[in-house]
RNA sequence: GGGCGCGUAGCUCAGUGGGAGAGCACUCGCCUUACAAGCGAGGGGUCGCAGGUUCGAAACCUGCCGCGCCCACCA
């Protein structure tokens, strides 16, 4: 890429000709932090506005999805801060139990070590080391992004205070019977060697094979269908539906289980679907959740035939085989005995995988801790139903309800070392004691007491985040002031993982007070074709890379500009370049202002003393402030960006700045007034854009104001006194003339610099007579002299005509083609409007405003037709 | 299997009952003294298909086709 700065020697700039973000950003960020601008106070009298950051995992560095998440939060926080709220954005990180442990275990594996080689204590020490490195990198990235977080309140889920919160709520739930220990079938990862909750399991459709196996002999035999033949070693029954006539005579009898010699009963259970397979199900209570339920109902033994690594432990020829080796081996053995009745392969069915390592999950019977989610989930659902918490966009609330209304109990114990250890001690006499945060263990190891080896699911501590970070369980000033937090910003992908659980625990711990008033959900960052980012695809964006090349502002603007509520955000390098260009546009507009002596000085002049052009831009500004406010309140960040982009680029740069040039050049009081308006408009524009692109706006705002900081400058207020419809109409008419003349010049190949003598007619009729000098300046028209010889007459509107002396022949054919196109368009419009107005049903039923609009359109089209026809007739042949 | 959503310009997406839009890409012309990371002008869409409701449908309803996501213990 060759991007050579081009600075003109004729410039005497206050600012360099191009915006260089790198230099500005780091300097400004350090200034903001050292000035304490991001620190919130718990005892100011401003209204509170608080956001707790979704704590990034300490598993690595921030990706572009975090950059999106942070940009949105920072924009919300910065705007509220400017609006005079006591704005707290609380930063922190998550220990991310299984994920982080996996990262460190992989590092160890690189050295040929396992965590067991180090032992629990050393291993945990090692993870803390990793946390320090990774966490440091993350904090650095947040600074580069410009996150206006309160660093004095940074938290980590394994801080002492947060660990106390964990222990406190565990004890409370335990004492109330909402946490219990039970032997259940849970999701087990044979590679991570730990239990997983339902949501840590991803289902995918995998190829398997469905085999039908004959159990027993002759008339008393029964055929079962299964995709998991290897578990037959652990079968303790066969189940059929109670109403299934085919098998009624067999219920209560026993069959011999092949390969084992064991005899197992045939039971009737309503769970069985008679229409599926053979209508008979092998029952393996220790290795299948449904079978476990059946086993419970029929008092069947639970026969475990696999160890924690998925290796067969049942005595016999298959002992020692991995579960995936055992399956074909057992099918082969059964086939040799002639017991395979039918095979169907491939048979596609849903299989669960560990969300961390993708290993196929094994249902496993084991003793684990659970949260009884019933009452908690009910409360979490109700809080959204009754509006205490609002989900944005509202459509996603359906997913939330579907989840909380059907929640299973939550398995919270993990056979890991990195995390909050379960605060339960077991005594020599079988005692079980849950220890509260300020209590001592009930006895020593020497006395035969030992603490539960397991740690808690990482989501247990993150579920407390909105209040543990504010000091709960203590009644702190922060908690009183900032809870409930104002809004939670996160991706829809963790609506269940995290949001629902924060709702459950927040409502429980704080007596029905919701953890946040609003949940604002955004989507995932994708590439420019809407494809998911993945390393194998090579389309992953590193936010730091963009920040270095285009600036943090450009990166943020690119993300915010794609952020429609709840939907995915496509980004590309080209778009980021466009954002960088936008920042540069702002830079140069300000540079122009400063070069012309425009900066912020006192209050605006009275509107009566201002030119139409000045009143027009102020009116536009007023409208933009209103729109942006609405869009911010609706979390429509893409629209905020779009509105401001077009206001800045189209209205301010392309029109207002161009219109001010002749005025400024002329000097005098008019120029003074315009300078003040230009300074004001840019000042307000920087404020409006500051939440999204904080750095460049700070730099330019300071340049315009001669000091201070936009970080705490007041957010613009929509002032109706600035609305000026008359000025807007006038400038629209002016724009039409200018555009039309430019169109002609372009079509005719007239060089942009070439001056043309012209006579403008009908400006007074259009109410823009006063703007004639501006129009002439913008399209380089000179007054017509004595030797004026019109070679083209442009009919710009019904009123306005422009006669041009091009001193040469014009391209008549091109102009005719253009006019005929216009005529066709006008005729079509006329026919359409007349059709409508001739329709009695339309005129009778449509609202009057709509009918009037059609009438106006018809009148305009008719006038257009007259004008175009006249122009056509006037064309030389 | 259940649920949700999407299909509008080459690409990514706004638009949700009354004249088809934006950014990027594309074409043409320009170093016009803020900005070539720029300026001006322009081309391009029977709004997935088929019915229906309505004076009027890109939008509302039904069906179909195509795509995506979430949830799920049918072996």
* DSSP collapsed to 3 states, A513-542: CCCEEEEEEECCEECCCCCECCHHHCCCCC
pLDDT of residue A8: 33
Per cent of chain A over pLDDT 70 is 98
- CA–C1' gap, A725 and B69, in angstroms: 46
A72-CA/B22-C1' distance, Å: 21
Q: How far is the CA of A6 from the C1' of B36 (A)?
A: 9
pLDDT, average across residues A459-475: 95
Give chain A residues 101-140 with Cβ within 7 A of strand B. none
- Largest interatomic CA distance in chain A: 120
Q: How far is the CA of A828 from the C1' of B51 (A)?
A: 29
With beta carbons less than 8 A apart as the criterion, state whether A826 and A861 touch: yes
* Sequence-ordered list of residues with C-beta below 8 angstroms from that of A496, at least 6 positions apart, any chain: A199, A399, A400, A403
- Structural contact between residues A172 and A390, judged by C-beta atoms closer than 8 angstroms: no
Question: What's the pLDDT score for residue A29?
Answer: 96
Q: What is the DSSP code string of A203-214? A: EEEEEEEEEEEE
Q: What angle do CA A722, A727, A729 make, to 5 degrees?
A: 130
Q: What is the per-residue pLDDT across A94-120, written as a single tens digit (0 to 9) for each?
A: 999 888 998 898 899 899 998 999 999
Q: Residue A742, CB, less than 7 Å from strand B?
A: yes
DSSP assignment of A326-358 equals HHHHHHHHHHHTT-EEEEEEEEEEEEEEETTT-
pLDDT tens column, A659-675: 999 999 988 888 999 99
The helix (run of H) or strand (run of E) holding residue A181 is strand A179-189
Interatomic CA–C1' length for residue A234 and nucleotide B50, angstroms: 55
Residues 1-60 of A with CB under 7 A from strand B: 3, 5-6, 8, 10-11, 17-20
Question: Residues 239-268 of A near strand B (Cβ < 7 Å)?
Answer: none
From the CA of A529, how many Å to the C1' of B10?
A: 12
For chain A residues 655-674, those near strand B by a CB cutoff of 7 A are 657-658, 661
**pTM reported for the whole predicted model:** 0.91
Q: Residue for token digits 């703007």? A: A771
CA angle A461, A463, A468 (to 5 degrees): 70
Residue A846 CB lies within 7 Å of the nucleic strand B: yes
* C-alpha to C-alpha distance for A90 and A190, rounded to whole angstroms: 37
Is A797 near strand B, with its CB below 7 A from some atom of it? no
Q: Is residue A575's beta carbon less than 7 angstroms from any atom in nucleic acid strand B?
A: yes
pLDDT of residue A155: 96
Closest CA to A591 of A714, A678, A677, A673: A678
In SS3 terms, A545-575 reads as HHHHHHCHHHHHHHHHHCCCCCCCEECCHHH
Q: Using the predicted structure, report yes or no on whether residue A15 has a pLDDT greater than 80.
A: no
Chain B bases near protein Cβ (<7 Å) = 2-5, 11-14, 18-19, 22-25, 28-30, 32-43, 54-56, 69-75
Residue A655: which nucleotide is closest by CA–C1'? B39
Q: How many CB atoms lie within 10 A of CB A823?
A: 17
Within A 301-360, residues with CB less than 7 Å from strand B: 349-350
Is strand B less than 7 A from the beta carbon of A288?
A: yes
Write out pLDDT tens, residues A309-351.
989 888 788 888 999 888 888 888 888 888 887 877 677 788 8
* Confidence band, pLDDT 50/70/90 cuts, at residue A795: confident
d(CA A158, CA A464): 12
Render pLDDT for A766-788 as a digit per residue (tens, 0 to 9): 888 889 999 999 998 988 888 88
DSSP structure string for A283-298? E-TTT-HHHHHHHHHH
Give the rounded distance of the alpha carbon of A180 from its chain centre: 36
Q: Is residue A208 scored above 90 in pLDDT? A: no
With a 7 Å cutoff on the CB, does A642 touch strand B?
A: yes
Query: Which nucleotide has its C1' atom closest to residue A665's CA?
Result: B33
Between the CA of A8 and the C1' of B38, what is the distance in angstroms?
14
Q: What is the pLDDT of residue A220?
A: 82
Average pLDDT, chain A: 89
Residues 854-873 of A with CB under 7 A from strand B: 854, 857, 860-861
A4 closest-nt by C1' vs CA: B37
- The CA–CA distances, whole Å, from A392 to A311, A379, A694 equal 47, 19, 25
Q: Quick one: which H or E segment has residue A849? A: helix A848-874
Peptide bond into A639 cis (omega under 30): no
Mean pLDDT of A264-275: 86
Cβ of A205 near strand B (distance < 7 A) = yes
* A100: nearest Cα among A140, A63, A65, A135: A135
A739 Cβ within 7 A of any nucleic strand B atom: yes
- As a rounded value in angstroms, the CA-to-C1' distance for A26 and B37 is 21
How far is C-alpha A672 from the geometric centre of its chain's CA atoms?
45
- Residues 551-570/A with CB within 7 Å of nucleic chain B are 562, 564, 567-568, 570
The two structure tokens encoding residue A452: 């539960």
Peptide bond into A346 cis (omega under 30): yes
Strand B close residues, chain A 472-531, CB < 7 angstroms:
493, 496, 526, 528-530
């Amino acid at each position: 890429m060759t991007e050579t700065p081009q600075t003109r020697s004729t410039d005497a700039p206050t600012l360099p000709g191009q915006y260089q973000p790198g230099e500005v950003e780091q300097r400004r960020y350090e200034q903001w932090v050292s000035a304490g601008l991001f620190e919130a106070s718990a005892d100011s009298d401003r209204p509170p506005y608080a956001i707790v950051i979704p704590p990034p995992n300490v598993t690595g560095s921030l990706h572009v999805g975090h950059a999106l998440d942070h940009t949105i939060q920072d924009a919300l926080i910065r705007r509220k801060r400017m609006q005079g709220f006591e704005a707290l954005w609380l930063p922190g990180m998550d220990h991310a139990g299984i994920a982080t442990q996996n990262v460190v275990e992989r590092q160890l594996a690189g050295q040929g070590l396992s965590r067991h080689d180090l032992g629990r204590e050393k291993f945990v020490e090692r993870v803390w080391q990793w946390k320090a490195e990774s966490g440091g990198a993350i904090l650095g990235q947040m600074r580069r992004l410009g996150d206006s977080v309160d660093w004095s309140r940074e938290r980590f889920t394994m801080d002492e205070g947060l660990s106390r919160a964990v222990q406190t709520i565990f004890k409370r739930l335990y004492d109330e019977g909402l946490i219990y220990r039970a032997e259940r079938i849970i999701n087990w990862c044979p590679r991570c060697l730990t239990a997983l909750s339902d949501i840590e399991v991803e289902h995918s459709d995998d190829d398997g094979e469905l085999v039908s196996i004959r159990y027993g002999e002759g008339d008393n035999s029964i055929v079962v269908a299964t995709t998991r033949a290897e578990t037959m070693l652990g079968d303790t029954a066969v189940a059929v539906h109670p109403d299934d006539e085919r098998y009624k005579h067999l219920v209560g009898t026993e069959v011999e289980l092949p390969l084992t010699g064991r005899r197992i009963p045939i039971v009737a259970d309503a769970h069985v679907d008679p229409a599926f397979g053979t209508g008979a199900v092998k029952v393996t209570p220790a290795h299948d959740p449904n079978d476990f339920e059946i086993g419970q109902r029929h008092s069947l033994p639970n026969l475990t035939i696999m160890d924690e690594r998925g290796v067969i432990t049942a005595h016999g020829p298959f002992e020692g085989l991995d579960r995936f080796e055992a399956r074909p081996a057992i099918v082969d053995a059964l086939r040799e005995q002639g017991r395979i009745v039918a095979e169907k392969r491939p048979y596609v069915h849903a299989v669960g995988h560990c969300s961390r390592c993708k290993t196929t999950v094994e249902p496993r019977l084991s003793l684990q801790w659970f949260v009884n989610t019933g009452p908690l989930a009910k409360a979490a659902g109700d809080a959204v139903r009754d509006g205490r918490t609002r989900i944005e966009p509202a459509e996603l609330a359906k997913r939330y309800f579907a989840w909380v209304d059907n929640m299973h109990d939550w398995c919270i114990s993990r056979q890991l070392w990195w995390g909050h250890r379960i605060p339960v001690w077991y005594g020599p006499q079988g005692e079980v004691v849950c220890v509260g945060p300020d209590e001592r263990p009930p006895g020593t190891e020497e006395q035969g007491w030992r603490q539960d080896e397991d740690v808690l699911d990482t989501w247990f501590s993150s579920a407390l985040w909105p209040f543990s970070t504010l000091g709960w369980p203590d009644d702190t000033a922060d908690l009183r002031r900032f809870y409930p937090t104002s809004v939670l910003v996160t991706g829809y992908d963790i609506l269940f993982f995290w949001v629902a659980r924060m709702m459950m625990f927040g409502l429980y711990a704080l007596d029905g007070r919701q953890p946040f008033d609003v949940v604002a959900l955004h989507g995932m960052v994708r590439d420019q074709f809407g494809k998911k980012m993945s390393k194998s695809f090579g389309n992953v964006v590193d936010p730091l890379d963009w920040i270095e090349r285009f600036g943090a502002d450009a990166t943020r603007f690119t993300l915010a500009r794609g952020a429609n509520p709840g939907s995915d955000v496509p980004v590309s390098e080209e778009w980021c370049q466009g954002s960088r260009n936008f920042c540069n546009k702002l830079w140069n507009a300000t540079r122009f202002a400063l070069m012309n002596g425009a900066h912020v000085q006192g209050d605006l002049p009275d509107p009566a003393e201002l030119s139409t052009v000045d009143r027009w831009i102020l009116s536009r500004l007023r409208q933009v402030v209103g729109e942006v406010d609405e869009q911010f309140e609706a979390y429509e960040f893409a629209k905020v960006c779009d509105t401001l982009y077009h206001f800045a680029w189209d209205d301010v740069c392309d029109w207002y700045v161009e219109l001010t040039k002749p005025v400024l050049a002329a000097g005098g009081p008019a120029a003074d007034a315009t300078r003040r308006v230009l300074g004001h408009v840019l000042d307000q524009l920087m404020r409006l854009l500051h939440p999204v692109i904080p750095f460049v706006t700070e730099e330019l705002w300071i340049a315009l104001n001669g000091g201070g900081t936009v970080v705490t400058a007041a957010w613009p207020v929509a002032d109706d006194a600035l609305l000026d419809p008359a000025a807007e109409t006038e400038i629209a008419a002016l724009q039409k003339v200018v555009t039309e003349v430019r169109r002609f010049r372009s079509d005719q190949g007239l060089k942009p610099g070439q001056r043309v003598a012209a006579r403008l007619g009908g400006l007074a009729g259009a109410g823009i007579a006063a703007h004639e000098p501006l129009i002439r300046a913008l399209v380089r028209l000179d007054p017509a002299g004595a030797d004026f010889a019109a070679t083209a007459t442009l009919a710009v509107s019904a009123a306005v005509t422009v006669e041009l002396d091009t001193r040469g022949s014009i391209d008549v054919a091109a102009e005719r083609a253009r006019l005929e196109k216009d005529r066709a368009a006008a005729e079509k419009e006329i026919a359409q409007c007349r059709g409508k107005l001739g329709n009695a049903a339309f005129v009778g039923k449509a609202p009057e405003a709509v009918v009037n609009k059609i009438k106006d359109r018809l009148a305009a089209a008719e006038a257009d037709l007259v004008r175009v026809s006249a122009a056509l007739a006037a064309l030389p042949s």
